[in-house]
């Protein structure tokens, strides 16, 4: 039994293979070009109390529970 593959099929298979290779290359480049995020920048980690008895302390659960 023989499978007949005409020119149109090989063209589509070739285009599809090239497209998959290009997508894999883009993903690899995207992963290597990513920049690390600075932890704690712009209030992303914890808040620091600015005034009062607990000035310059990080607002954690212990301090916040005593305020309630």
pLDDT per residue as tens digits for the range 17-45: 999 999 999 998 888 887 776 666 665 56
Whole-model pTM over 0.75 = no
Dihedral pair phi/psi, residue 48, rounded to 5°: -105, 130
- Same domain for 18 and 43: no
Would you state the pLDDT for residue 16?
93
20-49 burial code (b ≥16 CB/10 A, e <16): eeeeeeeeeeeeeeeeeeeeeeeeeeeeee
- Same domain for 30 and 55: no
- Same domain for 47 and 24: no
- Same domain for 29 and 44: no
Mean pLDDT lowest among 3-7, 16-20, 64-68? 64-68
Domain hosting residue 62, numbered range: 36-68
- Same domain for 47 and 28: no
Domain count, the chain: 2
- Same domain for 13 and 2: yes
């Amino acid at each position: 039994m023989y499978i007949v593959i005409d020119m149109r099929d090989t063209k589509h298979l070739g285009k599809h293979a090239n497209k998959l290779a290009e997508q894999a290359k883009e993903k690899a480049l995207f992963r290597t070009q990513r920049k690390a995020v600075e932890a704690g920048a712009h209030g992303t980690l914890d808040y620091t109390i600015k005034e009062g008895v607990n000035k310059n302390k990080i607002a954690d659960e212990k301090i916040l529970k005593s305020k309630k």
